């Protein structure tokens, strides 16, 4: 068992039993599953339940990991991609990224 995903490794491992089914899912499955989690997140936030909201966000991470699994990536590769993305795209650029979303998408 690899430990490349740190605190998210348990999520990866939990879904290993459904790996073949996940491999057959279209991108739309992951998109809709993410939308559902954000709908549930909003419901918990409207009720003031931060802990339940946090669990929904962990479910979003789970969906992202399963989408990466669907694309054929291993935990080691995911860890490398995440570190590279942080170093090359996000580090020192967070404000610029937020500004891009404001200008381009109005959020």
d(CA 63, CA 74): 15
Q: Tell me what pLDDT residue 33 has.
A: 98
Q: Tell me what pLDDT residue 1 has.
A: 47
Dihedral sign from CA coordinates of 39, 6, 66, 99: positive
Please choose, from the candidates 76, 75, 62, 78, the residue with its C-alpha nearest in 3D space to the C-alpha of residue 30.
62
Q: Tell me what pLDDT residue 2 has.
A: 59
Low-confidence ranges of the chain (pLDDT < 70): 1-2
């Amino acid at each position: 068992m690899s430990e490349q995903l740190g605190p998210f490794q348990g999520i990866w491992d939990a879904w290993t039993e459904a790996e073949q089914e996940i491999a057959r899912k279209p991108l739309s499955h992951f998109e809709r599953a993410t939308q559902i989690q954000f709908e549930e997140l909003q419901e918990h936030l409207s009720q003031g339940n931060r802990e339940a909201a946090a669990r929904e966000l962990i479910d979003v991470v789970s969906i992202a990991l399963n989408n990466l699994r669907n694309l054929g990536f291993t935990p080691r590769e995911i860890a490398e991609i995440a570190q590279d993305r942080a170093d090359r795209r996000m580090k020192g650029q967070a404000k610029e990224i937020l500004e891009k979303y404001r200008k381009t998408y109005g959020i």
